Structures are given as structure tokens and as C-alpha cells.
Amino acid sequence: VPSYRIGILGNLFSRIGSSAMPLLIPLLLQVGMGMSPMNAGLLMIPVAAAGMVSKRYAVKLVERFGYRRVLMVNTVLVGVAMASFIFMTPGQPLWIRIVQLALFGAVNSLQFTVMNTVTLRDLDRDFASAGNSLLSMVMMLATGFGAAAAGSLLAAFNHLDASHGATAALHATFVCVGAITLTSTVIFWQLPDTRPSPRDVEEVAE
């Protein structure tokens, strides 16, 4: 099933980058911004809150623009949002920091929702259970790969240029994980440029 193959591959590459963020963002807030662990944890609330809100618009966006356009545009937004954390500074106003985190949470959550629905949409009922199991396994693998990639990149950049400190290594890592996420646009480009019926989208999303 083409949509399933594309969805699985897209999930893998996109989630590798996204799975690095729960490690990188708190590190940046504590090491780069000098925040306490508690305050850094509190600043993750906008990420989760914006993610819950954006999920409600996934079906409407897919109905209007189709899976291909939504995933290609949103994947670029996710990659740019990841790389944008290099501009976060200790002197930055708190409200800008909150907006930046919320925007990342919104596009990241939307990405997960639409990727999952496009992966499972064309599977027959006989293969739905097995297909969902494989998707879950890929998601767990990507989570592990993402954390490992983030740690490896941080160590490598810190070793290559230790004179600039951990913040510079974090910035370089954000750019790299954003670039990894952007590679999935090539995968999603293979989707047909069609708009599914509202009923089909709602059934898969549920």
C-alpha cells in the first residue's frame, strides 16, 4: 500500500528530529538560558497546550488542502521551528519564548496527527491491526533514535569546538535535527495530490 509505505518512512525520519526536542529544549533552557529545572519544566507547558489545540484543526486542514500539501508545508514549518531555537537568548522577553515554544508544539502535534492518519487510511480492516502495530514500533524506534542522535550530535559538536561552550553545541544540534526532519518532505512529496472526503478523514482520525 503506497500511502502506508510513505507514512511509515515519513514517520521514521520526521519523528527522529521531533524526538530529540524533549531532550534538547530543557537542556537549552537550563544550560543556555540559566533557568532552574523547575522553571524549564514549566516552560514545556505551552508546547503541550498548543499541541492539544492544534490537533482539533488537523481534519479541517486535510479536507481543504489534502495530505500531501499539509504534510509538506507543515514538515518545513516543524524543521524551521526546531532550528529557530538557535535565536533563543537569555535576554529574550518571556512572552516571546512562550510563543516560540507554543508554535513548535502546535506544528509538531499537527505533524504527528496527520502522519498517523495518512499511514493508516488505505489499510483494509484485515491488515489494520498489524499495520497499527508496525507503526507503533516505528514510532518507538524513532524516539530512541532521536534521543541517541541528539546526544551524539551534542557530544560531537562539543568535542569539535569546546571553546564556544555547550550553548554553541546545542545550537548546532538544533539545526541538525531540523535538517533531519526536513528530509521527510521528499518522502511526503510522493503522496498523491488529492483531497480526501471529510468522512474518510474523520474515520481514520478517530
Burial tier of 55 (Cβ tally within 10 Å: 0-12, 13-18, 19+)? middle
What is the rounded average pLDDT for all residues in the chain? 88
Please state, as a whole number, how many other Cβ atoms lie within 10 Å of the Cβ of residue 140.
Answer: 12
Contact predicate 75/186, CB 8 Å: no
Region 76-86 average pLDDT: 96
Q: Which CATH architecture has domain 2-205?
A: Up-down Bundle (1.20)
What are the C-alpha distances in Å from 49 to residues 52, 99, 121, 192, 193?
5, 12, 27, 32, 31
Cell numbers standing for residue 5: 509505505
> Alpha-carbon distance 195 to 180, whole Å?
27
CA end-to-end distance (rounded Å), the chain? 21
pLDDT tens profile 100-128: 999 999 999 999 999 988 888 877 777 77
Under a CB-based contact definition with an 8 Å cutoff, are residues 118 and 11 in contact? no
* Among 85, 62, 93, 66, CA closest to 181: 85
Dist. CA 174–CA 182, nearest whole Å? 12
Cα dihedral 9/184/173/37 (nearest 10): -70
**Predicted local distance difference test score (pLDDT) of residue 105:** 96
Q: What is the pLDDT of residues 3-49, one digit of tens each?
A: 888 999 999 999 999 999 999 999 999 998 889 999 999 999 999 99
Which of 22, 43, 31, 47 lies closest to 147, judged by CA? 22
pTM: 0.87
Among residues 4, 16, 41, the alpha carbon closest in space to that of 124 is found at: 4
Instruction: Map residue 70 onto helix, strand or coil.
Output: helix
pLDDT (tens digit, 9 = 90+) per residue, 155-174?
999 888 766 678 889 999 99
Q: Cβ(182)–Cβ(76) under 8 Å? A: yes
